Amino acid sequence: MQDVGVGLYPSMSLLNHSCDPNCVIIFEGYQLLLRSVREIQIGEELTVSYIESLMPTSERQKQLKRQYCFECDCCLCQDQEKDAKKLAGEEPAWKEVKDAVNEVKYPKSKEEWEKVLAKCQHLLSSHKSRLPDTNIYQLKLLDCAMDACINLEAWEQALCYGSRTLGPYRLYYPDFHPLRAVQLMRVGKLQYSQGMLPQALETLKQAYDIMKVTHGTDHSLMQALMDLKEQCEAIMKIH
Ligand SMILES: [Zn+2]
């Protein structure tokens, strides 16, 4: 998730931050929906994450301080349990990848996407044994390569990169997280495009199980997901 804009939603600004929140905010057009992602006790405070929770603790703390002027002391910030995994691998390698990923702005033309993809491919092959896919910058690089391939309609290669992200997404977003649901849907769609129907159906089912909590069954994305799942099932029935 990138910071692309700011909207004014007065009632939502009453919610406090946690890096491990009990609610998420979902867009439906210009509308914001607040949805709970776990059981909430009576009297318990509702929280959302103001920032991308994937970042390691020190980065999250820095961003919260800079943008919102406070220090977070949520459970994730206290135990810092996943930080070592997030920064696994050789430091010079992930620092190079971090800079490269941050440099990618919003490519518009085919040529720009081709350049992005070439850069990603170069980094992925040169850092092959130096960075695991669980390193968050490597993960962002895989995501970026997947986006580039989708924009260049290189579906098979997009699926290759996308599949590699699913394990790390499960690790960092183990519960109900909208980003994981969307990623599963994207990979499921790519599997479908490659005729891998049983795999596609399985991936789409996983997306569905998360999305019914994070987005709800009335959300337009959920409708699209259910249509895709039905198409997949219908073709499998014929064959
Ligand atoms: Zn925190």
Q: What residues sit around ligand 1, an ion, with C-beta below 5 angstroms? A: 19, 72, 74, 77
Q: Which pLDDT belongs to residue 1? A: 41
Q: For residue 128, which phi and psi values (nearest 5 degrees)? A: -45, -50
Q: What is the pTM (predicted TM-score) of this model?
A: 0.92
Report how far ligand 1's centroid is from the alpha carbon of 130 (Å).
29
Report how far ligand 1's centroid is from the alpha carbon of 69 (Å).
13
Q: Which pLDDT belongs to residue 6? A: 60
**Residues in Cβ contact with 21 at an 8 Å cutoff, skipping those fewer than 6 apart:** 37, 47, 48, 49
CB atoms within 10 A of CB 209: 12
Report CA torsion sign: 48, 54, 60, 66: negative
Among 87, 59, 82, 85, which Cα is nearest to 72's? 59
Report how far ligand 1's centroid is from the alpha carbon of 20 (Å).
7
Report how far ligand 1's centroid is from the alpha carbon of 232 (Å).
40
Report how far ligand 1's centroid is from the alpha carbon of 45 (Å).
15
Examine the pLDDT at 12 and tell me if it is beyond 80. Answer: no
Report how far ligand 1's centroid is from the alpha carbon of 235 (Å).
45
Report how far ligand 1's centroid is from the alpha carbon of 15 (Å).
14
Q: Which pLDDT belongs to residue 189? A: 97
Report how far ligand 1's centroid is from the alpha carbon of 75 (Å).
7
Percentage, residues of the chain above pLDDT 90: 85
Would you state the structure tokens that stand for residue 212, as one six-digit string?
């019914």
Q: Which pLDDT belongs to residue 81? A: 85
CB atoms within 10 A of CB 1: 10
Per residue in 38-90, pLDDT tens? 999 999 999 999 999 899 999 999 999 999 999 999 999 998 889 999 999 99
Per residue in 17-38, pLDDT tens? 999 999 999 999 888 899 999 9
Report how far ligand 1's centroid is from the alpha carbon of 140 (Å).
21
From the number of C-beta atoms within 10 Å of its C-beta (0-12, 13-18, 19+), residue 137 rates as buried
- Write down the H helix ranges in the chain: 57-68, 75-79, 83-86, 91-103, 110-126, 136-151, 155-172, 178-193, 197-214, 220-238
From the number of C-beta atoms within 10 Å of its C-beta (0-12, 13-18, 19+), residue 54 rates as buried
DSSP 53: T
Report how far ligand 1's centroid is from the alpha carbon of 88 (Å).
20
Report how far ligand 1's centroid is from the alpha carbon of 210 (Å).
23
Examine the pLDDT at 16 and tell me if it is beyond 50. Answer: yes
